[in-house]
Structure 1
Amino acid sequence: MIKFCASLLCLCLCYLAQAQNSIEQSFEIQKDSTDKDFLLKQLGNGYLPTKYFDFDLRYLVKYNQYEGLRTGLGGVTNENFSNKFRINSYLVYGFADQRFKYSVGGGVRLAPQTNTWLNYSYTDDLQETGSSKFLTDTRFFQFFEPRLLNIDLFHKHITHAISLEHQLHPKLSSELQFAISNVEPTYSYQYALDGDTWSKFNFSTATVSLAWSPFNKFKDTEDMLPEMKEGFPKFTMQLTKSYKGVFDGDFNFVKLDLKTIHRIEHKNENISEFTFVSGIARGNTPLTHLYHAYPNNINKETVMQRFSVAGLTSFETMYFNEFFSDKFTTAQLKHYLKPFNISQRYKPQLVLITRYAIGDMKNPERHQNITFGSLKKGYTESGFELNKLLFGFGLSFTYRYGAYHLPSIADNVAFKFTFNVTL
């Protein structure tokens, strides 16, 4: 099976390379700078465009502690295929768990003026336990996603989802989703409630998500009010309700998630960025649907054994699976100093960082066969990054202090690479 998958991947990569070469040759013949800019923009968003189908680069190669090497193909049809409907799917294979994961879906555009889409998807994949995603978050692509390398706590899920995207206003986007999920943790875990225990869960959920950018500025073009200048602050809110007894759902609970991002550009070319994230779950909620605080530290003995790659918004000194909460808040301040102008192409940048997290768990005894702590005393770390030292790589140093300071000084230190590449 592994040889077959490797052969299939090689063939697919060859096809992608040929498609990319074909595109590049077309650009050389036409010498159309607009099309080249479009290609660079698509690549920066994580797509390799072809005539009718845009390959999604997020599915090519990844790695984590459960699947090992995860590789495959995916993508979505583009407007040359149709401007009234789209088809999106992916197929990946994990070499450590020896299992295929996939998603098949599509959407129908109901109203171009408000960018209204009716979507459906069927997904059989993994999700990190304790992670939360906002439906209205804009697509974010990194060539290299550092946190994925060290994640080991996943749950399998098979999910049917139908959703409605609608732009209420050029500055206000919304999405409504109904989903039915069958969830099974990949680790030994049981949820205990009223004398019963569950090791597998069925969820029937309704979710509404709103993204508001009141300070964005726009200009009229043929592309229907594209964003001209990004404004801050930005606000996102998401409400999720799980229903017991609806399509065999096991639990009643409600979750409310909030996110605010604010950025200040100073006259001396310094930039201050503040990120606030908060969530609360009320009701009977298994660990799979609760919260961690974006940890990114490996549970190994020495600082150098824990040496890895720092994330963009993660707590670098917080160990994986150290804390879980049913209510939490994180606040992060990053201050970007003006890049050092050493040469035209070599401009490293110093970033000062402080992060804070607080949270709690109402009924920790319900979560069995797993050990974790509470964040009710408040967690603090500070440090700095020196980015873009060589080929996009830099260095990060972070120190953990305050209520959760550990007895050994070395256990409070995180020393890591950073990776920043822009097209």
Structure 2
Amino acid sequence: MSKQSYLLLIIFFSFSINYAQTKVGGILNDDTGQTVPFANVVFANSSEGATTNESGEFYLQSDGNYDTLVISFVGYKTKKIPLKASVNLNMEITLEQEASSLDEVVIYRGKTSKKNNPAIDILKKVWANRRSNGVNAFKQYSYKEYEKLEFDINTVDSTLIESRIFNGMEFIFDYTDTNRVTGKTYLPMFINESVNQVYGDNDLNEEKEVLLGNKNSGFNQNRNLIDFVKDIYDDYDIYKNYIKFFDKSFVSPVSTTGIDTYNYVLSDSAYIDNKWCYNIVYYPRRENELTFKGDFWVNDTTWAVKNINLETTKDVNINWIKQVYIEQDFEVLSDSVFLITKDFFMADFGINKKKTSQGIYAKRTLLYDEYKFNNEKPASFYSQPVYNPQSQAYNRSDEFWSENRLEELNKDEKGIYVMLDSLTKTKAFNRLYDIATIAQSGYVEFDGWDYGPVYSTFGFNDVEGVRTRFGGRTYFGQNDPWRIEAYGAYGFKDNKFKYGISGKVLLDPKSRLILTGGNRRDVEQLGTSLTNSTDVLGRSLASSSLLNVGDNDKLSSINLSVFAIELEPLKNFKVRVGANYRVLKPASPEFSLDYYVDEERTIIDSEINQTEISTVFTWTPGRKVSGYGVERSVVNDEDFPTLFLNYSLGIKDVFKSDFEYKKLQFFYNQPLLIGGIGRSNVSLEAGKTFGAVPLGLLSVVPGNQTYFALYNTFPTLDFYEFVTDSYSAIHVEHNFNGRLFSRIPLLRELNLRELIGFRAVYGDISDESRMIDASGLSLVAPNSKPFYEYSVGIGNILKVMRFDVHFRGNYFDNPDARSMAFTIDFGFHF
């Protein structure tokens, strides 16, 4: 379940009350009529304030009662505005230039100089001292962390309130109020609180987080959603070159790379908590890049950041996000080290970026306390357990939360629990929840079982014609210790019934000892991947694609039975030992899997019976999962490498098995986030079969005769164009995330993304395997030189579509060789 899918689920039914006493908002101009960006706006006699954005707009709210607003900026007279009411919105304020400062101060509006700029001089001192700040200044550290996550509907207006979708839930609108950052009216829908004890060792480069308590409203049983919400925000460090969230890398304004990305202005200086600090305003040098705007305060002795605000610009190239706002506060320890005490993150999700459109606020507040240092623990302390349900942490008492919250919930946050408890009991809400669940998961929920996936109900291929499929699975909860899945399908052209059934049971949660077994009889397009899978119910899109290039009649009938045992002795390291029995034969008269049975090559058989035993090792370092049942959901599905090693042994004469062979396969996949130039993915595959085997057991180089993107295939190859029994392949793809198009004025507003790719494969077939082949196909292997392709593409078309053009690099002499291919892909991506 992807993060983007969860967001679509949340938008279906997303619902803090905030009894703020003072609210102000408006626009700031100077006496020439120009707007004044990045000016300071604060309530008088308080530390509560904000800065105007690049258009001179501001919004500020507080739980306190204030009667005066103070506005200041270098080069202008400070202005005090009396507040006549508790709510003062749509204000228009004019600042006067300060005559005495006109000859001394330059007000930067465009690009600032990198030379003789006092702001950059200060920034260089920040760089020189960054390693001696925070927990990095100590060998070991520990602290308590309180985290609060909230989701709210924003831009609540009469149209939304009167919408049919909320019939029966009208009472929720009694809980609306105004966001302190954007000034939009919002309505709460979810809150999650957690308390963690964090331990770290800088010498070992290890960190461990122990969950002490977790509490949430609305989704107590949905661990997937809770873990997704927590994973939205990757840990980030403002001192590093890039701040990563939503699969994107934003240039940090405090980093060494910031000098080429941002303009800096020394705006002010003042005492903050008895420490003299400088205020630096920053804003991007170019449009449409992954950058921020805002300001930060720097201490003049430790050169550490005391406070920082980061806000994405309105033209940033990131889907479904109107704005991201980050605020961090630091405190001084022993007059030398600054430690983070508060981290606030808010993302404004929306279908589009119009100011008046409705969307979702996702807010995270992190508070830190009880810092302790240089308390060394053994390296074994930081090892990660395989089984760690921590069920007691989700059932803490009210007394626990009173003692462990680092700040009390305000009235609006307490109200979320009350409102959502009532909401989840309404029929209207549960109807919406059911619809959203079907759209996201593809399953229709019933009591104890699910029907689906609904997206597989219809298909088509040259052998079966129109195909219908009906299936389901047992489902009592996310942490079910066993699960059974089954389906039945019927082809209206071949008039044959197909089916599949599989089951798995978790015998030992601590070692993740699982038994699996099943049987499938179906029509399948073999050779769509080099690395074999023994998924009983798996089926490639190539087997039932509605649109194909040329004839797709090289399908096989497969009868596959599988039994396996697997365990996870170390976190994210899985061992699987299995046995499978396959019966393969052609599914159409135009296709042959024939092979010679005797050495004289006089007797031919068209059916393959094969028994195989395999041992598979899979390592996925850094993978995060949700749940502890027989099936777990991956939370960070695109953020970790995968290493796969398989050793298979074909056994002859067991259950009438035909062939004896050994097969070794290796697969490695590595996603790479490369700073400010985008995201890459590299995968390597290699394998070899020892022994003579027929076409049905060879390693087919995966072609793609559909118009849809299929993972790790070669789109300009037809099915069975290259066949091998030893191979090595590489697939490289890079997404520039719009970095190039953002420099082109006519393309900039479309937020398109540039993609390039390269694929190559080298392989051969042994003479022994060639000798027993009687299929009539021309068995060609890319053995004289590696076959390669390259591609260019445009992504983010209408935010959901990707189009690629693929070019064949060589082997143009192959029969019916295609020099070019086109593929499309659909999906929700940030």
Normalised-by-shorter TM-score class: 0.7 to 0.9
Is contact 2:472–2:486 with CA below 8 Å preserved after alignment? yes
Following superposition, the deviation at residue 223 of structure 1 comes to: 4.9
Separation of aligned partners in 1, 2:559 and 2:225: 38
Asked if residue 350 in structure 1 is aligned to residue 746 in structure 2, the reply is no
Letter in 1 for 2:787: Y
Separation of aligned partners in 2, 1:122 and 1:410: 37
When residues 123 and 410 of structure 1 are mapped into structure 2, their CA distance, relative to the original with a 3 A threshold, is closer
Separation of aligned partners in 2, 1:27 and 1:202: 60
Letter in 1 for 2:723: F
Give runs of aligned pairs for residues 235-250 of structure 1, distance below 5 A. 235-250=643-658
Separation of aligned partners in 2, 1:27 and 1:161: 50
Counterpart of 1:189 in structure 2 is 593
Separation of aligned partners in 2, 1:289 and 1:407: 23
Letter in 2 for 1:334: E
When residues 231 and 371 of structure 1 are mapped into structure 2, their CA distance, relative to the original with a 3 A threshold, is same
Asked if residue 322 in structure 1 is aligned to residue 727 in structure 2, the reply is no
Segments of structure 2 that go 5 or more residues without pairing to the other structure are: 1-8, 14-164, 173-188, 191-217, 227-432
Q: Which has the larger radius of gyration?
A: 2
Asked if residue 332 in structure 1 is aligned to residue 740 in structure 2, the reply is no
Following superposition, the deviation at residue 272 of structure 1 comes to: 1.4
Following superposition, the deviation at residue 160 of structure 1 comes to: 2.5
Task: Give aligned pairs, total.
Answer: 386
Asked if residue 112 in structure 1 is aligned to residue 513 in structure 2, the reply is no
Is contact 1:131–1:291 with CA below 8 Å preserved after alignment? no
Is contact 1:357–1:378 with CA below 8 Å preserved after alignment? yes
When residues 141 and 106 of structure 1 are mapped into structure 2, their CA distance, relative to the original with a 3 A threshold, is closer
Secondary structure, counterpart of 2:510 in structure 1: helix
Counterpart of 1:16 in structure 2 is none
Q: Give the one of 792, 801, 809 matched to 1:401.
A: 809
Counterpart of 1:6 in structure 2 is none
Counterpart of 2:469 in structure 1 is 72
TM-score by length of 1: 0.78
Is contact 2:717–2:817 with CA below 8 Å preserved after alignment? no
Letter in 2 for 1:53: W
Counterpart of 1:13 in structure 2 is none
Q: Give the one of 345, 370, 382 matched to 2:790.
A: 382
Counterpart of 2:360 in structure 1 is none
Is contact 1:136–1:211 with CA below 8 Å preserved after alignment? no
Is contact 1:129–1:287 with CA below 8 Å preserved after alignment? no
Asked if residue 370 in structure 1 is aligned to residue 790 in structure 2, the reply is no
Is contact 1:192–1:198 with CA below 8 Å preserved after alignment? yes
Counterpart of 2:712 in structure 1 is 313
Separation of aligned partners in 2, 1:129 and 1:164: 25
Separation of aligned partners in 2, 1:158 and 1:407: 32
Separation of aligned partners in 1, 2:761 and 2:748: 39
When residues 173 and 370 of structure 1 are mapped into structure 2, their CA distance, relative to the original with a 3 A threshold, is same
Is contact 1:52–1:81 with CA below 8 Å preserved after alignment? no
Separation of aligned partners in 2, 1:27 and 1:174: 51
Separation of aligned partners in 2, 1:392 and 1:231: 21
Query: Identity, % of aligned pairs?
Result: 20
When residues 382 and 110 of structure 1 are mapped into structure 2, their CA distance, relative to the original with a 3 A threshold, is same
Following superposition, the deviation at residue 280 of structure 1 comes to: 1.5
Letter in 1 for 2:449: F
Separation of aligned partners in 1, 2:714 and 2:755: 15
Is contact 2:509–2:628 with CA below 8 Å preserved after alignment? no
Secondary structure, counterpart of 2:652 in structure 1: coil
Separation of aligned partners in 1, 2:714 and 2:509: 40
Between Structure 1 and Structure 2, the one with more strand by share is 1
Separation of aligned partners in 1, 2:751 and 2:655: 56
Give runs of aligned pairs for residues 160-175 of structure 1, distance below 5 A. 160-175=561-576
Is contact 2:585–2:593 with CA below 8 Å preserved after alignment? no
Secondary structure, counterpart of 1:268 in structure 2: helix
Separation of aligned partners in 2, 1:345 and 1:44: 30
Secondary structure, counterpart of 1:204 in structure 2: strand
When residues 209 and 43 of structure 1 are mapped into structure 2, their CA distance, relative to the original with a 3 A threshold, is farther
Counterpart of 2:493 in structure 1 is 96
When residues 201 and 26 of structure 1 are mapped into structure 2, their CA distance, relative to the original with a 3 A threshold, is farther
Counterpart of 2:67 in structure 1 is none
Letter in 2 for 1:338: N
Separation of aligned partners in 2, 1:147 and 1:183: 15
Q: Give the one of 79, 87, 90 matched to 2:484.
A: 87
Following superposition, the deviation at residue 407 of structure 1 comes to: 9.4
Separation of aligned partners in 1, 2:695 and 2:611: 16
Separation of aligned partners in 1, 2:812 and 2:458: 36
When residues 88 and 297 of structure 1 are mapped into structure 2, their CA distance, relative to the original with a 3 A threshold, is closer
Separation of aligned partners in 1, 2:756 and 2:555: 32
TM-score by length of 2: 0.42
Secondary structure, counterpart of 1:394 in structure 2: strand
Is contact 1:348–1:388 with CA below 8 Å preserved after alignment? yes
When residues 37 and 51 of structure 1 are mapped into structure 2, their CA distance, relative to the original with a 3 A threshold, is farther
Deviations 1:137-185 (A, max 9, x none): 9x9999xx46752443222122322111322222112222112222222
Deviations 1:262-281 (A, max 9, x none): 12101115011111122211
Q: Give the one of 279, 282, 285 matched to 2:687.
A: 279
Q: Give the one of 261, 264, 278 matched to 2:669.
A: 261
Letter in 2 for 1:371: S
Segments of structure 1 that go 5 or more residues without pairing to the other structure are: 1-19, 299-307
When residues 83 and 411 of structure 1 are mapped into structure 2, their CA distance, relative to the original with a 3 A threshold, is closer
Separation of aligned partners in 2, 1:185 and 1:130: 13
Asked if residue 201 in structure 1 is aligned to residue 591 in structure 2, the reply is no
